[in-house]
Structure 1
Amino acid sequence: MSLMSPNQYQQEGNHSMDFQAPLVLCLLVLLPALGVWQWRKQRTASVRFSSITTLKKSPVSWRVRLRPALAMLRLLCIACVIVALARPRKGTVLSEISSEGIAIETVVDRSSSMQAEMDYDGDELNRLDVVKRVLAEFIQGNKDQFEGRTGDLIGLITFARYADTTCPLVLSHSVLLEFLKQTQLVTIRSEDGTAIGDAIALAGARLQKAEEEIQRRRAALGMADANDLPDSFRIKNKVIILLTDGQNNVGDYAPLKAAELARDWGIKIYTIGIGSDQAFTTMQTPMGSFKMPARNDLDEPLLTKIAETTGGFYRRADSARALADIVKTINDLEKSEVKTLQYTQYSEQFMPWIWAAIGLLITEVLCSCTVFRKIP
C-alpha cells in the first residue's frame, strides 16, 4: 500500500534581517554625543605647563595623530553591543500543508456484458471503455466538469467472476491511470461472471487497511496513542464507487452482507448501473459485423439497497453523458480539504555582533596599553 503523510513542509524563501527589539537601536543616536564628549575630554591636559611654545614647534608623531582612533574603536564597540541587544535575526518562511483527503476505491465491472456499446462524444465505445474514460477525467481532471482529485487516496478494484486489486490506494495518480488504461474485458469464459459481493468486500477491506496504516504511521512518529490522532491526519471519508451492468451471480460474499460490513467500517458506497434497455453489441462473423441487442441484467433494486445501507445513492447511467453527470455529483459531494499554515522560522544573528564588540574592546585595550600608552 502506498501512503504518504498528509503534512508537508515547503520552504518559501528568506526574509531580510530584522530585529526582535528594534527600539534598542534608538540608543545609536547617542553615539555622536558620546564621541563629542570623549573628544573634549581628550583635549583636557593631565599636566599643566606655564608655556607650551617650545612644544608647539616639536613635530607631531604618528602615535599622537592616530590616538583618536582609540575613541573610534570604543564607539564601534558600543555600537556593536547595541545592535546585539536589539536581537538581529533572519527568518525563513515555511508553509505547512495539511490535507484531509478522501480514500476512494473505484470498483469496475469487467465482465463480458460490459462489451455492449455506448455513445461517447459521437464514438461507439464499449461500456468498459466509457467507464475508463470518465473515471480518468474524474481522477486527473478536465476543462469542463472535473478539477481532479489531487490529495486523495484512490485505488482500483476490478471484477468479473473474481475480484482483484488492480491498483492499491495511491496518491500517485499517474500510476493508477496507467492501471486503469490497461484494464480489459474478461476473455476466458471460466473467469466470466459478476461477483458484486466479493468486489465490495475486497474494496472495504482495502479502505479499512488504509485507515489502520495511517494510524500505525502516526503512532510510529512518537504519538502516545494512535486513537488520539487529529482529524487532519485521518482519512476524512472512505468511499466506494461501484460501476456494474449486471447482477450478482457468483462469489463468496452476499452483496448486502458486504454492504453491511462496509457500513460498519464507516464506508459509503455509491452504486452506478451502466447501460440502457436499447443497448447493442457488435458481433464479428465471417459474413461481416452486425449489431445484436444486448441483454439487460441490471439488478437495480439490489444496487439501490447496497447504496442506501451505507448512506450513498444509486443512479443509472444509460449514456456516457449521464455517467459523467453522476460521477460529477459524487465529486461535488466528496470534497477533500487542504489547509496551508504559513509561519516564519527565525535564527538568531546577535553572536557575530557580540564577537565583534569583544574584538574591538580587546584591540582598544591592547593599543592603549602599548603603542598608544599615555603617560601620565
Structure 2
Amino acid sequence: MNALFATPLALAALPLPLLASRLMPPRRPPRGSVRVPAAVAARLGAAGAVSAATGGRRIRLALAWTAWLFLVLALAGPQRVLPSAAVPASGREIVLVLDLSGSMEQKDFVLDGRPVRRIEAVKAVARDFVRRRAGDRVGLVLFADQAEVAAVPTFDLAAVDAALAEAEIGVLGRSTAIGDGLGLAVKRLKDSASPSRVVVLLSDGTATAGAVAPAAAAALARELGIRVHTIALGTTEELDGSAGVASLVDTKTLEAIAAASGGKAFRVRDTEDLRAVADAIETLETAPTDAPPVVVAEPLWPLAAAAALAAGCALLVFDRRRP
C-alpha cells in the first residue's frame, strides 16, 4: 500500500501565505490609536486585555493555517494505491474491429430462439467476450464508410461494453472500409508496450471503401508484431437476392490478413459458430507473462477537503465570538 498524490505540484502552494505576508505592506494601526509600552499598559490595567488579544491572534492564525494546509492537500489529490488481487493484469491488449456496413442488417442469425440481424448477434457475443476479459486492456474500433475508435484500449470493460451496446448501423455509412478499420486498430496498438497485442477483425463483406488497402494494413500489423484474427461472417458466400442485401464474404482477403500477421481465420455461419470462435480466440491468447496486478487508486482528497472546511468554519465562528 502506497500513499501518493495525483498532482504533487500543488504542494508548492503551501508557502504562499508567508510569501504574501512578506510582500504586502505592513498593516497600519487605526487612526486615533496610541501605541504604549507593555510596562505602561500593565500600570493602566490593560495587561490582561493585551494577553487575551495575543492569544486570540494565535488561535486565529492556527485555524487559518490549518484550513490552508488541508486545502492545498486536497488540491494535491492524495490517494491510496492498492493492488487489486481480484483483477490481475494479463499483459494482453485486444482491439475488436467491428463491421457496421449495411449488409450487417441482414436477418439470418438466430439468437435465443428468434431470428435477429447479424449486428445483434455479433454484439451479443462480443459483449459476452469483453465481459470475460478481466485483466486485459480491450478497445473497440467500428468501421463502415470510415473508421472510428469507439473505445481506446482500457481495463474499464464496462466502458467497452457500453460502446458495443450503442454501436448501430448507418452512423458511419453503409460501405465496408476493412483496411481503414484494421489500420486504425493497428495504429492504436503501435506504441503499446504489451507483449501480446491482438486485433480481432469481424466483417461480413468485401472491401468497397476506404483509403487503406486491407493487404497494406495486414503488412503493417506483421511488421509491428501484432496478431490479427479474422472472422468472416455470413450464412452464404453468394449474393442473396431474396433478402435484397449483398452477402458476399471475401474470405480470401480475411484469410490472407490473418495468415500475414500470424493470426487465425474463422468462418462463421450461425450464432453457435460465433460463440465457438470467441472461445477459441480466448484459448489462443493465453496470458504471456505474470504481469503485475492492476492497481486501483482510492481518492482521499474528500477527507482533506472536509478538514479544510471544518477549520474554515471554526475560524468564522471564532471571529464572530470575539468582542
Deviations along 1:348-369, whole A, 9 cap, x unmatched? Answer: xxxxxxxxxxxxxxxxxxxxxx
1:195 paired residue among 174, 177, 198: 177
**How far 1:235 sits from its partner (Å)?**
1.3
Opposite residue 182 of structure 2, the aligned amino acid is I
**How far 1:155 sits from its partner (Å)?**
0.5
Deviations along 1:198-228, whole A, 9 cap, x unmatched? Answer: 111100000113x1xxxxxxxxxxxxxxxxx
**How far 1:170 sits from its partner (Å)?**
1.0
**How far 1:277 sits from its partner (Å)?**
1.8
**How far 1:151 sits from its partner (Å)?**
1.1
The match for 1:328 is: 279
CA distance in 2, matches of 1:102, 1:306: 20
Structure having the higher Rg: 1
In the alignment, structure 1 residue 248 sits paired with structure 2 residue 207: yes
Q: Secondary structure at the match of 2:278?
A: helix
The match for 2:91 is: 101
1:157 paired residue among 141, 150, 169: 141
1:296 paired residue among 244, 247, 250: 247
The match for 1:126 is: 117
CA distance in 2, matches of 1:179, 1:125: 20
**How far 1:100 sits from its partner (Å)?**
3.5
Structure 2: segments with no counterpart, 5+ residues: 4-81, 294-323
Deviations along 1:105-129, whole A, 9 cap, x unmatched? Answer: 1000001100011111212111111
More strand by share: 1
1:267 paired residue among 226, 246, 259: 226
Contact kept? 2:266, 2:277, Cα under 8 Å: yes
Change (3 A) 1:122 1:328: same
Identity %: 30
TM-score normalised to structure 1 length? 0.52
1:319 paired residue among 253, 270, 273: 270
In the alignment, structure 1 residue 166 sits paired with structure 2 residue 150: yes
Provide the aligned length of Structure 1 versus Structure 2. 211
Opposite residue 207 of structure 2, the aligned amino acid is N
Matches within 5 A, 1:57-96: none
Change (3 A) 1:278 1:103: closer
**How far 1:293 sits from its partner (Å)?**
5.5
The match for 2:194 is: 235
Structure 1: segments with no counterpart, 5+ residues: 1-8, 12-93, 141-147, 212-233, 282-290, 342-376
Change (3 A) 1:166 1:95: closer
Deviations along 1:133-169, whole A, 9 cap, x unmatched? Answer: 10111111xxxxxxx1111111100000101111111
TM-score normalised to structure 2 length? 0.60
**How far 1:95 sits from its partner (Å)?**
6.9
